[in-house]
Amino acid sequence: MDDTDFRDPDALLARAGVGGNPDRDQHFLVDDRVLDRVPTYATEIDADLGHVLEIGAGTGALTDRLLAVAGHVTAVERDPDLAAFLREEFAAEIDAGRLTVLEGDALAVELPEFTASISNLPYGISSEITFRLLPHGVPLVLMFQREFAERMAADPGTEEYGRLSVTAGHYADIEVVEPVPEAAFRPPPAVESAIVRTTPREPAYEVPSDEVFMDLVKAIFTQRRKTMRNAIRNTGHISGLDDPDAVVDAAAEDLMSKRAGDVTPAEFAKLAQLAVEVGDP
């Protein structure tokens, strides 16, 4: 479909009678070139686009482009006025059974089964919504603050590497596929943005359970400046370990001398297994 067939994002804003509200985390993506590229990050990996979930549909500029490549789109929008606008603007697509507008908070509504999510996320809920989507095991193409995106994709030993890197990477390969300048939005946010693509896959290690693994990673990164030995001992109230000393004693000495930012996901997985065996979580 040629881009001239798409609704103009500025015209959508005008018809909706909105200009965006930073206080409500509303920054509308209006750059046609960026909007056109967003769905391609899913099509180029042959993602199943039978049912695409869009979080934070706004006035529908991205929705319009998703409808060109998806079998069905469910657009989630928490603003009642914008949800009403979407139902009016896309009435033909709704009547044809190709679009569902779901009004409500994406963290609270019951999400449908979906095969991919392509979304310009409200940045205030980036972390919470990402970890609601990742366990579904489907491809995601999501817009984030650039700093958040880079932390999500960071490798061990880098300054950006942290809890977010480990937990996101547990579910998928993470790529920052495009930086997006402030001028691409209306109103412009105070930070640069970036598009992230996640490709689901099984981790290259085994964990006793996602819960034990995630709790341990969360606990240790609260004390990322300390050695692993001290971080484990100091955070039993977060990790749920009744006997953190037993985990320290059972772990390899070189691992206990590291700091969290240098510990690989596979090493965290080994610690999680030790936590079950001797730490009594």
Reported as half-sphere exposure (CB side, CA atoms, 13 A), residue 178 has a value of 16
Cα maximum dimension of the chain: 65
DSSP secondary structure of 85-142: HHHHHTHHHHHTTSEEEEES-TTTSPPPP-SEEEEE--GGGHHHHHHHHGGG-S-EEE
Contact indicator for 56, 75 with CB cutoff of 8 Å:
no
SS3 208: coil
Is residue 21 annotated as involved in ligand binding? no
Contact indicator for 144, 123 with CB cutoff of 8 Å:
yes
Paired tokens of 132: 């609601």
Is residue 170 annotated as involved in ligand binding? no
Is residue 142 annotated as involved in ligand binding? no
How far apart, in Å, do the first and last CA atoms of the chain sit?
54
Is residue 237 annotated as involved in ligand binding? no
Phi and psi at residue 50, to the nearest 5°: -60, -40
Q: How far is CA 156 from CA 71, 136, 205, 209, 216, in A?
A: 38, 25, 16, 22, 17
Is residue 255 annotated as involved in ligand binding? no
Is residue 234 annotated as involved in ligand binding? no
Cis-peptide, bond into residue 244, ω within 30° of zero: no
The rounded distance, in Å, linking the Cα atoms of 140 and 198 is 5
Paired tokens of 80: 């009642």
CA 14 from centroid of its chain's CA atoms: 29
Q: What angle do CA 100, 123, 107 make, to 5 degrees?
A: 50
Which residues are annotated as part of the binding site for S-adenosyl-L-methionine? 27, 29, 56, 77, 105, 120
Binding residue numbers: 27, 29, 56, 77, 105, 120
